Structure 1
Amino acid sequence: MINNEVISIILGGGQGTRLYPLTENRSKPAVPIAGKFRLVDIPISNCINSDIKRMFVLTQFNSASLNAHIKNTYHFSFFSSAFVDVLAAEQTLQSSSWFQGTADAVRQSMHHFLNHKFEYALILSGDQLYQMDFNQMLEAHKNSNAEITIATLPVSEKEATSFGILKTNQENVITSFIEKPNADLLPDWTSQVSDEMKGEGRNHLASMGIYIFNRDLLIDLMSNPDTVDFGKEIIPQSIHKHKTLSYQFEGYWTDIGNIDSFFEANLGLTDDLPQFDLYDNERRIYTHARMLPTTKISGTTLNRAVIADGCLINAKHIERSVIGIRSRIGKGSTVKNTYMMGSDQYQSLDEVSSQAKGIAMGIGDNCNINNAILDKNCRIGNNVTINGGRHLEDNETDTYCIREGIVVVKKNAIIPNGFEI
């Protein structure tokens, strides 16, 4: 079944500098997450689970791997109108510039959207982790006769200074908006929330960057080339002119905006009861179906470890870590508080002996890895120590970066035997 009233527009974001070096060679939506998925799989899966199966992904930086992932993953029936299309910034007679912001990206791509019939446009971010039934949000939008609906998340005073904060009336209609308010202003910016949220001190409504626009209104708003961003311009300018509804969401949601939030979101999956549930039958996360063997583990003690398909693990100990597809970890190694993304392919024995001075893909023997992100296809030699933490200052070399105490080993990097960080 397909909801033919709605098209989904997934914003791939800009250069993704806050997620560097993970975005050095790929766009932000293509960054691997949870050992086997990509960030873009989250909004796409939420749409599929909500029967919204006409999707556009807007991007402009390093989009080759994103294109390949979507092309190889999301195949619908020839007899269906479902699709996931990647739209990169392109030169046209109307515009010769790159996307200048979220609204400008939608504006420059409008001619593609208008080739399809729809009543509502669902606009999503490509770098958030959450599970939501968009049908409930759409029903609230219709029932209130709103022209715009914004998904909102109750947050605490401490969190509120980092978000666009909304104020609503008794009907959940948004009456005012402020971007990243100072703490001294927050007492005047509380809204009606559930008793459970009040009990947690979450009395402020933050915009989640998830919007529903009526088709005709979106066309009208996009006719003004001077507005380039939804959060900073379109929404603040619209709330007094067009009925704008707040749809409160009380589930788990996090913005994967920087290395620290990305790191914590991944390691959070190792919790006994993770806030983001990968094991929900009704809200599955879809990704590329790889024909990989089962993971083989020998002599390893595991504690709160998430292990993806096709791994070869001989480690001594793995704790609070996510180990991605095709990962190899040698004998005697300890891995803690680490997200290891894995590898794009297996190496033959000949390749291991002839390439990179015999340093094979993965983690070698007798290594100690802690507080680290290991990007795809890393080669970590034997007897390597990587001990991230706040004691380390931000730094960058050809093979790794340190961001807020987290050591990020770059994609395809080679770390020699005996190296210490």
Structure 2
Amino acid sequence: MINNKVLSIILGGGQGSRLYPLTHQRSKPAVPIAGKYRLVDIPISNCINADIKRMFVLTQFNSASLNRHIKDTYHFSFFSSAFVDVLAAEQTPTNKGWFQGTADAVRQSMHHFLRHDFEYALILSGDQLYQMDYAEMIAAHEKSGAEISIATIPVDDKDAPGFGILKSNEDSIITSFIEKPDPSLLPEWTSDVSEEMKQQGRHYLASMGIYIFNRDLLVKLMADESTIDFGKEIIPQSIEKHKTLSYQYEGYWTDIGNIDSFFEANLGLTDDIPKFDLYDKTKRIYTHARMLPTTKVAGTTLDKAVLAEGCIIGAAKIERSVIGIRSRIGTETTIIKTYMMGSDYYETLQEIEENKIEILMGIGDRCFIKNAILDKNCRIGDDVRINGGSHLEDTETDTYVIKDGIVVIKIGATIPHGFVI
């Protein structure tokens, strides 16, 4: 049973400034994705599918909504040792500071981990989109007799300078590692990859930020308080001293690092055959079980649209867009290349009347919205025109942010009738 050997540690990331404003009121792992999930559901689901059911999620910024989501979602049997616990950065008599990096986060939380029996620590990122079988990676780690394993993915010339790049021998044991190499150095860092990867120009092996450490080694490495980061310090320093395996993965994987990659990952779900497959019953993605009604659509032309449950849609057209839970869209509205996260609750007719709500939650009538992300609980008035694209300069107002041509309407923002962006 893998379950009893492995403890999973999911790193929630820092302030998530590159995903701002989506991280203004929530931590990065709590950002809604695909209309009904949260980013943290991805590594947790991968763990559950691999029969790894003891998980810690480490975070330090805006962790309230993440706490609530995990508490409401992941319930295991009373007679099981399974759990998902959130560990927020905490001041202790010996430590007064925040997490300074990925390794420092693990170090500061070690006293929680060591209360559990485990042979291997599986260290994951909370902001990546992929479906990996960790059981296969752990089996490869055991078979090789490695002390550390790193999941690696082939990347091309364009992406390689943004990653830690490594080389391995014929037994997949890592022999050298360089963090974010200068493009001029790349010719020396090509690796032996599959024919399919070669055809795509992906000749370099990049670290995915997914690690397995033997328990005893992790305890030893964490004793050195001078190291604060796995990718920049622990991994490069360990390769010569400790047997380190490269576990090569060639499936779909994307790092949700900024608004652009987040936007493209969501819109990619509307493809005829999406690279990230939500329909694979062997790789289910789990999330909060909501008792929502079915989605109701009237008079709408749908083309490459993903609709979550509980929506009321009267739009004229929805094209290459993801529409999240409890979304309301008015008549004669056109939505193109947009991720609408939806709402946390429905407004009743009584509430609308009593509070004299002029602009309802959701999108009004006769709107045109393109190249946009609408965060939760937004109110878009009638006759609003939002036309994102490269013609727009980066900017921020009280209600919206423009980044890389993508218009992001802030959580709970109200856009008045007839407004144009």
The TM tier, using the shorter chain, reads over 0.9
User: How far did 1:325 drift?
Assistant: 0.1
Q: Hey, what does 2:18 align to over in structure 1? A: 18
Counterpart position of 1:207: 207
Equivalent position of 1:143 in the other structure: 143
The match for 1:127 is: 127
Deviation at 1:352, TM superposition (A): 2.9
Q: How does 1:4-403 map to 2 (within 5 A)?
A: 4-355=4-355, 357-403=357-403
Instruction: Report the CA distance between 1:2 and its aligned residue.
Output: 6.2
Pair 357,345 (structure 1): closer, same or farther in 2 beyond 3 Å: closer
TM-score when normalising by structure 1: 0.99
Partner of 1:404: 404
* Structure-2-length-normalised TM-score: 0.99
Shift of 1:356: 7.3
Query: Identity across aligned pairs (percent)?
Result: 75
Give the partner amino acid of 1:215.
R
The answer on whether the counterparts of 1:352 and 1:359 sit within 8 Å (CA) in structure 2 is no
- Kindly provide the amino acid, as one letter, of the partner of residue 149 in structure 2: T
Structure 1: gaps of 5 or more residues: none
User: What are the Cα deviations for residues 127-146 of structure 1, in whole angstroms up to 9, with x where unaligned?
Assistant: 00000000110011111100
Give RMSD over aligned pairs: 0.9
Q: Secondary structure at the match of 1:282?
A: helix
CA distance in 2, matches of 1:356, 1:106: 50
One-letter identity of the residue aligned with 1:372: A
SS in 1 for 2:3: coil
Structure 2 counterpart of 1:67, which letter?
N
The answer as to whether partners of 1:2 and 1:82 remain within 8 angstroms in 2 is: no
Instruction: Report the Cα distance in structure 2 between the residues aligned to 1:140 and 1:403, rounded to whole angstroms.
Output: 41
CA contact (8 A) 2:2 2:135 kept: no
Opposite residue 348 of structure 1, the aligned amino acid is T
Q: Which runs of 4+ in 1 moved over 2 A?
A: 350-357
Shift of 1:351: 2.6
Rounded Cα–Cα distance in structure 2 between residues aligned with 1:198 and 1:349: 59
SS at match of 1:115: coil
Other structure's SS at 2:401 match:
strand
**3-state DSSP of counterpart to 1:187:** helix
Alpha-carbon separation, structure 2, partners of 1:54 and 1:176: 32
Give the deviation of 1:108 after TM superposition. 0.2
In structure 1, C-alpha distance between the alignment counterparts of 2:196 and 2:90, rounded to whole Å: 47
Alpha-carbon distance in 1 for matches of 2:37, 2:365: 27
**Residue type matched to 2:312 in 1?**
L
SS state of the match for residue 360, structure 2? coil
Aligned residues: 421
Q: What is the letter of the counterpart of residue 174 of structure 2? A: I
Q: Aligned equivalents of 1:356 and 1:336: distance in 2? A: 31
Letter in 1 for 2:121: A
Q: Displacement, 1:191? A: 1.1
- CA separation of 1:2 and 1:203: change in aligned 2, threshold 3 A: closer
Distance in 2, Cα, partners of 1:352 & 1:381: 15
